[in-house]
Structure 1
Amino acid sequence: MAGTPTACSSYRQHNHASATATEYTALPLTLALPHRPQAVSGARHLTRAAMIAQDFAEDLEDTVLLVVSELVTNAIAHASPPLVLHLDQPTDDTLRIAVDDGGATPHPNGWHASCTEDEHGRGISLIAALAEQHGAIQRPGGHTTHWATVNMQT
């Protein structure tokens, strides 16, 4: 996504319920999110708005939103801030979803620490099952980008 112009905005500056869909619909999209559990629903809401604006097939919505949810949730539960969501369509048939985070945290964050073993641990398996490809890229300063691609052909 480097070198590509982006629609970049900070979710912290907007309440997702009051933001209009057109504020966040141009692809590629880069969006800073708050590092807290409520960011997951905001990320889904804004991703759905972008999908509608881009006229993506409706039957892909559940897959894309689940991948977004899992990537953002993992960043909140297992990593330090900042938290940035990227959506891009590098080809007509591929949507790339990426989440930048501040790198692994030595201790589980907040609400995640209170979860029992059977309440977590399936996120990467879900992403692997739904995505065409997925992975992680280590960045300078300990930051990490976790990404997945979803086939847009129905």
Structure 2
Amino acid sequence: MNPAGSRRHVRHRPSPGSGADRSGTLRHEGDRSEVLEHRPEVAFSARRTTQAVMKRWRVDTDTTESVTLIASELVTNAIEHAGPPLALHVRRETQGGAILLGVTDGGQADSEGTWTISCAEDEHGRGLTIIGTLADSHGTHTHRNGATTHRARPTT
């Protein structure tokens, strides 16, 4: 664990000469990935990280608030419904400037998180609806060690 107690920073670097990552996605300077501990308190860290990146990119307030809420909901869903490890990815397309958020987790958990089981049915389950309303596009990529859920939000 690092001195901050809950996160480790991983900076994205473009592939030499291409400006693209292994998947072919063009990278924007300042893209950020952060490994998070698998505990409820890290939703705050995800919000703080997202806000800092949006500020660095000089993104408008409305978009910053929407993107921050999407990041928080994605991380919360991963904590409640998936196992570790957990990581937040904040990227910006070089062409068009869309903001891409991703959360990588360890795949379906054996049981629901403590918050989900401790509250009434109508007190949870709105996260994906909120995300779907705010995001321009979305998807999930399942891989050997879990899943990565991603959402895109255009900038104004």
Q: What is the TM-score with the length of structure 2 in the denominator?
A: 0.80
Q: Which runs of 5+ in 2 are unaligned?
A: 6-10, 12-28
Residue of structure 1 equivalent to 2:49: 46
- SS of the residue 2:63 aligns to: helix
Residue of structure 2 equivalent to 1:60: 63
What is the rounded CA distance, in whole Å, between the counterparts of 1:14 and 1:124 in structure 2? 33
What is the rounded CA distance, in whole Å, between the counterparts of 1:14 and 1:65 in structure 2? 24
Structure 1 residues 84 and 120: CA distance shift in structure 2, 3 A: same
What is the rounded CA distance, in whole Å, between the counterparts of 2:84 and 2:3 in structure 1? 18
Residue of structure 2 equivalent to 1:85: 88
Q: Give the number of equivalent residue pairs.
A: 134
Give 1:53 deviation, angstroms: 1.2
- SS of the residue 1:13 aligns to: coil
Residue of structure 2 equivalent to 1:33: 36
What is the rounded CA distance, in whole Å, between the counterparts of 1:61 and 1:14 in structure 2? 27
Give 1:14 deviation, angstroms: 4.2
Give the letter for the 1:52 counterpart: K
Residue of structure 2 equivalent to 1:110: 114
> RMSD over aligned Cα, in angstroms?
1.9
Residue of structure 1 equivalent to 2:4: 15
Give the letter for the 2:147 counterpart: T
What is the rounded CA distance, in whole Å, between the counterparts of 1:114 and 1:33 in structure 2? 23
- SS of the residue 1:77 aligns to: helix
Residue of structure 1 equivalent to 2:105: 101
Flag the structure with higher helix content.
Answer: 1
Q: What is the TM-score with the length of structure 1 in the denominator?
A: 0.81
**130, 137, 141: which one aligns with 1:137:** 141
Give 1:55 deviation, angstroms: 1.1
Question: Aligned pair 1:119/2:118, yes or no?
Answer: no
Give the letter for the 2:2 counterpart: Q
Residue of structure 1 equivalent to 2:26: none
Percent sequence identity over aligned pairs? 35
What is the rounded CA distance, in whole Å, between the counterparts of 2:78 and 2:58 in structure 1? 28
Q: Deviations over 1:113-144 (max 9, x none)?
A: 21211111111111111000011110113x00
Q: Which runs of 5+ in 1 are unaligned?
A: 1-11, 17-22
